[in-house]
Structure 1
Amino acid sequence: MFLRRKHSQKDDSDQRDSKVSELRTAIGPLSGRSAKYCTDACLRRYLEARNWNVDKAKKMLEETLKWRLTYKPEEIRWHEVAHEGETGKVSRANFHDHQGRTVLIMRPGMQNTKSAENNIRHLVYLLENAIMNLAEGQEQMSWLIDFTGFSLNTSIPIKVARDIVYILQGHYPERLAVAFLCNPPKIFEAFYKAVKYFLDPKTAQKVKFVYPKNKDSMELMKSYFDVEDLPGEFGGNGTLKYDHEEFSRLMAEDDVKTAKFWGIDDKPYHIANGNGHSAAEVAPEPAAPIAQRVS
């Protein structure tokens, strides 16, 4: 029985490798950033998202390549979206989950702007940044969503939520490992029901509602995170205060890595401190090796 299972696993692996080769042949020759984007790991994610149907994965991938050519997410720089992040409504955590995955922290109650396009652009920037900071061999990230201060006044419109879901599912397939919605208020339930309508069933299964005072919720959180790293608002013992100036410096450094990876000749620019005055100049000079290629 053990040998049969071992052979079955090898057969599955061989079949999936064959599907990757088939998809690569189907999309044809690529050049430039499209070629750099379409690694084997990337193709696997698109196949996984379409249940290993090559034709459907091909269509999905081609739509992403068209989107990336026009939207150019790899060219977004922090100084272009920094105003969206002043309150820390979305940021990259300084810790990882037990699997070593990058963690994004979202605070919808800290919503500070009304522009749908700028909100989406800010999120796309941080998705690209999170991917760039994934460990070698890691393809997914985890989300922690803190609903402190959330109200109807701070919630984004359903249409914007729908557009975000479309981008996440259509152009970042299999990037999300799990999303913890921490202590969501009752008023969020109606909002989520509307948003869930647009979610793929596989994505919906990754969404976990957790409550710090609930024992089962905390056990679930501990299975994903070190309680000493986990901030108090998520039921842990850690502290994580968002410092916009410090985070801006970190993002500016990462922008150099991003430009180097994609072969983009960025011009030096100034990042502003909390008072809006120029704090430092960042130029695309040689940086430390990137942890993982974007795929």
Structure 2
Amino acid sequence: MPEGKIMKALSGFYYVKDHDQIIQCRGRGIFRKQKITPLVGDYVVYQAENDLEGYVTEIKERKNELMRPPVANVDQAVLVFSAIEPAFSTSLLDRFLVLVESHHISPVICISKMDLLSQEETEKIEKFAVQYEGIGYTVIRSSAKWEDGLTSLLPYLEGKISVFAGQSGVGKSSILNALRPDLELKTDQISSSLGRGKHTTRHVELWSIGSGLVADTPGFSALEFSELELEELPGCFPEIADYGERCKFRGCLHINEPKCAVKKAVEENEIPAYRYHHYQQFYDEIKTRKPRY
């Protein structure tokens, strides 16, 4: 049976790439019964009725999967956050980072629209960028208008499946258009009344850029920690996981426990206060969420 990779999912069809050929497939009914949804990025077995149409019959084991955005077997996530329009949000960025870390996907932070900043605004964003780099994250300052800012992103895409994700309106599609102009992905302006962008990407699709594959995904502005457990949360903050090894009590969750090395590090400004504040927020959110049945 032939095999391939799902490159696009749209209106109930899965577009499977097998070497240089794209086969338009539907999923077998058994997937619905098993409550399994084929995802872009899946390695699949398919049965072709002719050169152009077929059915996905089997989904190979996944390395990982995301549901928002819906994509599987991701090597890294390029988290695109604008420096302005909409305003840079460490809270939303940390939500994305926690989601990515929880799926063991390597994140790359890309701060877009840097060309629109004043000198004072640039210094403020640069301070955040340096702090995230201090934690161990890769941070790229970019603009769709800066050729050098975009070429610095290219080496990180080579040979990998990367998902571009972030708040809507931050310039994901503009950056992809600049990296590969023939894509001609639709972009739109920021809504002045809402302060956020309109959703311009309507489906998930993998595009070839260099030797890598990149997923342009629908933008969204909210994330829920529906699958993450409290015990997993500290490991999704690298600096908290690092200092947590020095806590007096094993299994310290860094909230109310005595002799907590993490809280001490926050007091001594070794961990940014806003990062710990977000950790507390996410902890409370997970702790008070409704049970899943």
TM over 0.5: no
TM-score category (smaller protein): 0.3 to 0.5
* Higher RCO structure (Cα 8 Å, ≥6 apart): 1
Which structure has the highest strand share of the two?
2
Relative to the length of structure 2, the TM-score reads 0.32
TM-score in terms of structure 1 length: 0.32
